[in-house]
Every structure is written in C-alpha cells, then in structure tokens.
Chain A
Amino acid sequence: MSASLAAPGLRLPRTLLVGLVIVGVIGVLAVLGPWIAPYDPQDFSMRMRLKPPSAAHWFGTDEFGRDVLSRVLSGAHYSLAMGFGATAISLAIGVPLGLLAAFHRGWVEEVIMRGVDLLISLPPVLLGLLILAVTEPGLFKTILAVGLVYVPIMTRLARAVALELLAEDFVEAARARGEGAWHILVREILPNAWPPLIVETALRVTFAILLGSALSFLGLGPQPPASEWGLMIAESRPFIAEAPWIGLAPGLCLCLLLIAVNVVGEGLRDLLDPRLRGRGHG
C-alpha cells in the first residue's frame, strides 16, 4: 500500500498514455465545443434534414437538419460532467463515511455499514430511477443521483483501506502521542490511503458515465434541445433505418470516451496498486 510504486521517473505504460491522450482530447473538445462547432447545434435547416455525412456535415444532419457533429461536440461536456462530477460526489461523501466507520468502531460503524449494505443491495439503475422518479429531471439531479448510487462502494473501500492503515505502526505512534481523531484521520490515514482510492475513482468514472447516459437515454437526464449523447441516441431511434448516423455518431463517441477512461483507470491501477488487479466493477 506504500506509494513507492508511483515514484518519480517511472515510465507510464503505453496504453495508459493513449488513454490519457484520448480523454484529454475529448476534454479539450468538450470545453472548446461551442467555439469550434461548425454550426449552431440547435439551428433547424429544413432543406438539409436527414442528410448523410458529407464534407459540409461530417456526421450528417438529423431530423431537423441540425448538424450532428456540432451537436456531438456541444454535448461532450455532459458525459464528462456526469462521469467526473458523480464520482467526485461519491468520493466526497463516501470517503469520510468510510474513515469514520473505521475509526469509530461500534454503533457509528454499525449504522454506516448497514446503510451501505442497504444501498448496495439495490441495483444501480433502479436506485437512479427511484431517485429521479421523485424529482424533476435535469443535469445536476442526474449527477447527484449517479453520485449517490456509488457512495456505498466508496465507503466500503475507504473503510477497508483505513482499517488496514489503523493497524500500522505510524498510526499507533500518533495515538501514543495523544493526537485527536481528526488529526489521525486527516494527517495520517488519508495521505496513505490515496493510491487505492484513486484507482477506484478512476475505474468508477467509467461506470458513472455509463449510468448517467443510460438514465438520460431513459429520459431522466438533461432535457432537449440539449445534445447529451444518451439523449441523442434515444431521440435518433425513429430514424434508425433512414438515418443511422444520427445515433451512431454520439454512440461511437460515447464508446470511445468509455474505452479511454477505462484504459486510464486500469492503467493507473496497474501502476499504483497491482494488488487490486481483478477487482470487479459494478
């Protein structure tokens, strides 16, 4: 669990590099999207509807004659926001809960861990559906819902890591010095717990993007005319035979992003924490 594997000068594996580059490029495109999009992603053009890919419209046009490339570009930030935003939420809530549970054994741990058991026994899509069934849909609610879905996994992991660390000598030493709980958790445990947490976070981003876009596909994410990729795929369904590019373009971009994020996650895992190889997703 030591940080020695991440020592400076270590060469990054090639796949990790490729993944990082792709994620980086998509990130840059997402930020620059509104400026580099060749057309207004919402502009109708009735004469140009359902046109196949061409020099003027690389990804073709949709049922309203909107440029699919421009829509894909202006929708990239949704997936990234859902992936990273939701993971950040699960990290921000899950890790403190896990540390707390590890440090205060007894009823605190019992309450937290039983709550975790409970939430983890609902399949993620269902939990997301339930949360969104009681609220109006929207980007931030989707992010929050996806984030909450993954809190229990983060809590479990943080607790397991902290339990191991609590048995280490340097923690014993801190206790012997009479340091308080806050100091021990924040100054001693957290700095040493980050490799497995980072690995889990990186892997979790993939699933957060997946779940977020699946919820949007079901109509529970950003609302039209937003060009969130899952929503675009859902809206393309009536035209799948006549104009498959409307759905294929965002779909393939989503796959590319997911592959890249996954490669980065696995690469980081191999780099930082080979022991975790084989840990499941879910």
Chain B
Amino acid sequence: MAGFLLRRLASLAFVLLAMTVLVFGIVHLLPGSVAHMILGEYATNEAIATLEAKLGLNDPLYVQYWRWLSGLLHGDFGQSLTMERPAGPVILEALARSATLAGVSIVLVAIIGVSLGIHSAVHKGSASDRALTLAQYFFIAVPEFFWCILVILFFAVWLGWLPATGYTPISDGGVLGWAKHLVLPVSTLVLGLIAHVSRLTRSSMLEAIDSRYVLAARAKGLPERIVLRRHALPNALLPTITVLAVDIGILIGGIVVVESVFAYPGLGRMLVYAIDNQDLPLMMGGMIVITAVYALANLVADILYAVLNPRIRVGGTAA
C-alpha cells in the first residue's frame, strides 16, 4: 500500500510540475505585452520599457519561469495586473467559495445519486424505476448553460421568485443566509450529475445482485436486506467512486458557467475574468489551483478504490 501511495504521489507531483510548464508556456503565447496590460492603453512607450525592465520581462523565458515557480512554491502567486493587489488571496478566497459549492454539490450527488440508483436496481422494472430511467436520459443530456437559462426562466421570470444570488459569508448572513445563496447554483450543478451517478449505481448494483457471491449469500439463507447491504452494495459502489472523481471534473466545468449566471464569486468566474482581461498571474494561479484540486480528487478516488478493492493495487489506475 505504501508503495502504491508513493507512486501515486510522485505522479501527482510530476503532473503538477508539468502543468506549471504548460500553463506558463500557453500564457506566454498570448498576444499583447504584460507591461502593456498593466499600464493600460494609455501608457507611453517609455513607461512600458521601464516597467518591462523593472519586472524582468526582458529576461529569458526560463529565468521568468523559474522566478514564477519559486514564488509559487513559497505561496506567492504574484500581483494581479488588473486589480493591483496580490493574486494569492484573491485566488484562495475564490477557491474557498467554489470549494463550498463543489463540496455541497458532490455530497448531494453522492447521497441522492447512490440512493436513487439502489432504489431503481432493487425495484427493477417497477414504475418508479422506469420513471427514473426516463428522467435520467433527459437530465444527463441537458447542458449546464441551458439549465441556467431554464432555471432563470422558471424562477426569475415565471415564478417571479428568485432565491438570493451572489454570496454571503456565514459571518454576515448566518448559516441560513449563507445556505440561501447556494440553493440555485447547487441545484443547477447537481441535476445532471445525480442522473449520471444514479444511472451508474443502478447498473453496477444490478450486476452485483446477479453475481455469484450474492447468489451464494442468498443460498446461505441470509435475509435479503443483509445480502444487499453486506454483499451487493460494497461491490456496486466501486465504480461509483471512480465516477464521482470524474464528475468533479465535470463539476469544475459546470462551475465556470453556473458561477457567472448566479453571480457567485468563485474560482470559475475569476478564471473567466482573468482570461477575458488577460490578467496573467491570476490566470496562471487559477489554472494551477484548479489542476491541483482535480488531481487531488483523482488521487483520493484512486486511494479509496484501492482500499476498498485490494486487487487493484498492483495494476494501473482505474480508467
């Protein structure tokens, strides 16, 4: 197990390091000069040249890269170009808010998705199973950005009732005020994912129910509830864990859209802002942070998978 962990950690470190090179490289392909961006369109050429020298923008790229990377390792994300303040706190605050959104969503997806999936599998062929299957087909297929339109249309335009948008910290609005602001973005984010997870849980649960060891347990005369809970469920949950990790990737994509629509000041919106305004330090920092989160989520999923299923440890990672 220790060897497996070490290997996964090493690969994580590699991915993150390579990602810094990739992000730095792509960002420096962007048209326009950084000094120009800082000083705005009203800068004189001398002012740009002075600033370029001061920021070391004339140094070779690898020197600049090293400067940025060693800053990163010390927790310094550089200075936001457009907001004239350190990028680190901006990124981390946005991350904390997005993490709230994503955390609440993924917990809801796991609980609701898995329960619905088990329910469907156990009551295979029933009216509720068929209704769920039909709903799943629909919900999986609706893109997040269209969900947002539907949610706005439904709540804001037709009902004339819109739970609060934006964000309120617990310190200001209390738990209720804080939770109120999560309702719309979270519900928009989770609908598709719940459909996805419940669908998967259903099929893996069905497979598990038909498997030999469940048959054996039944043959031993164990009550059906215990058979399902002790024997079928753990096996059925294995693929679900991997899928939840993949879903975090989808969630991150969804967050970019959902945060913009509901004015939620998280990482996704910050990143779109940074790209639109070519705020390079903010952009690079945001990218690295998102990658790190995503990679960590995958690592956790792999470890969970390995813990639950000892056979996998020797092999590669799960697709």
Contacts and interface: CB of A to CB of B under 8 A. Distances in A.
Interface string B1-21: 000000000010011001100
Contact of A282 (B143, B247, B275, B291): B247
Interface string A215-231: 00110000000000010
A206 B246 CA distance: 16
Q: How many residues of B sit at the interface, in one of the four size bands? A: 35 or more
A101 to B, nearest CB: 12
Interface string A64-95: 00000000000000000000000000000000
A interface majority secondary structure:
helix
A206 B195 CA distance: 15
Interface stretch (A53-61, A164-172, A185-193, A257-265): A257-265
B158 to A, nearest CB: 9
Contact of A123 (B29, B157, B249): B249
Interface stretch (A4-12, A28-36, A114-122): A114-122
Nearest to B146: A251
Contacts of A124: 249-250, 253
A240 interface: yes
Interface in B100-152: 137-138, 140-146, 149-150, 152
B167 interface: no
B157 A244 contact: yes
Interface in A120-140: 121-126, 129-130, 133-134
A123 B253 contact: yes
A254 B153 contact: no
13 contacts: A117-B14, A118-B22, A133-B26, A134-B26, A217-B143, A240-B152, A241-B153, A241-B156, A248-B153, A251-B146, A254-B146, A255-B138, A255-B141
Interface stretch (A44-52, A173-181, A273-281): A273-281
B94 interface: no
Interface residues of A, number: 47
B14 A254 contact: no
A240 B242 contact: no
Interface of A: 114, 117-118, 121-126, 129-130, 133-134, 153, 156-157, 160, 206, 210-211, 213-214, 217-218, 230, 233-234, 236-237, 240-241, 244, 247-248, 251, 254-255, 258-259, 262-263, 277-282
B256 to A, nearest CB: 6
A58 B84 CA distance: 52
A248 B149 CA distance: 8
B146 A277 contact: no
Interface stretch (B196-204, B212-220, B223-231): B196-204
